[in-house]
Amino acid sequence: MAIKWTPDLSVGVESIDAQHKIWFEKVDQLFQAGKSGKAKEVISEMLDFLDDYTKMHFNDEEKYMKEINYPDLDKQIKAHRKFEGDLAKLKKDFQESGYNIALVINANQMIVDWLTRHISTMDKQIGVYVKSL
């Protein structure tokens, strides 16, 4: 499943949207590598990047929400920690089982589903709140 950031996923906060776009690009690179048979060479590197980038993005987003006194910060933090755990499990599965196409497909699907659902439901509310200030 290819993944592209689209304007309907815009939160309305430039710094958050910019980071989301990079996230989508990297996940799409993982998908494209799998599609072209090169996932074995890139999946470990890509999972490491996604793990590091996810933590950095969540930290930045949570810091921003604290600065604006976002009322649902606790819900966001809980969702972020859950996703970090899911991503850590993916990395662990890869390290234990080595490369397999099912892992690449599952990783891509899990990340795509989470990103689109989280941004569409939770992150967009940050933009709504910012507009109300």
Please check whether residue 125 lies inside any domain of the structure: yes
Question: Tokens in use for 19?
Answer: 């980071």
Please check whether residue 8 lies inside any domain of the structure: no
86: domain CATH number?
1.20.120.50
Tell which wins on pLDDT, 93 or 67. Answer: 67
Please check whether residue 83 lies inside any domain of the structure: yes
pLDDT at 39: 64
Please check whether residue 107 lies inside any domain of the structure: yes
Please check whether residue 25 lies inside any domain of the structure: no
**Distance (Å, rounded) from C-alpha 20 to C-alpha 120?**
12
Q: How many domains does the chain have?
A: 1
Residue 6 has pLDDT above 70, yes or no: yes
pLDDT band per the 50, 70, 90 thresholds, residue 48: confident
Mean pLDDT of 53-57: 93
pLDDT at 75: 96
Please check whether residue 87 lies inside any domain of the structure: yes
Residue 40 has pLDDT above 70, yes or no: no
Please check whether residue 34 lies inside any domain of the structure: no
pLDDT at 72: 96
Minimal CA–CA distance to 72: which of 15, 21, 129, 25? 129
pLDDT tens-digit profile of 21-34? 998 888 888 777 76
Give the domain extent around 128: 45-133
pLDDT band per the 50, 70, 90 thresholds, residue 99: low
Please check whether residue 70 lies inside any domain of the structure: yes
CA angle (14, 11, 112) in 5-degree steps: 110
**Distance (Å, rounded) from C-alpha 86 to C-alpha 26?**
17
Residue 102 has pLDDT above 90, yes or no: no
